[in-house]
Amino acid sequence: MSERWARAALTAYRYAGAVAYPLIGPYVAWRASRGKEDRARRRERYGVAGRPRPEGPVIWIHAASVGETIAVVPLVE
């Protein structure tokens, strides 16, 4: 992939994000009005944590699917 193509793709991605951003709020509000979103957790869509960070060191474990979640349970325990 050439640098010029990568730069153009990144620019297009940024413009698409800028265009979509104002539509996210009304879309989430519409989903919440139909019971598909929890209104109390709406701010999480914008990166605002729903809970305060616990004291001490924190280890984050990411599991993208149900199978990965099941596989990581023994590690967590």
Catalytic positions are 68
As given in the structure block, the two tokens for residue 16 are 């698409």
Residues whose CB is less than 8 angstroms from the CB of residue 72 and which lie 6 or more positions away in sequence, other chains included: 61, 63
Distances (CA, A) of 64 to 53, 67, 73: 22, 8, 13
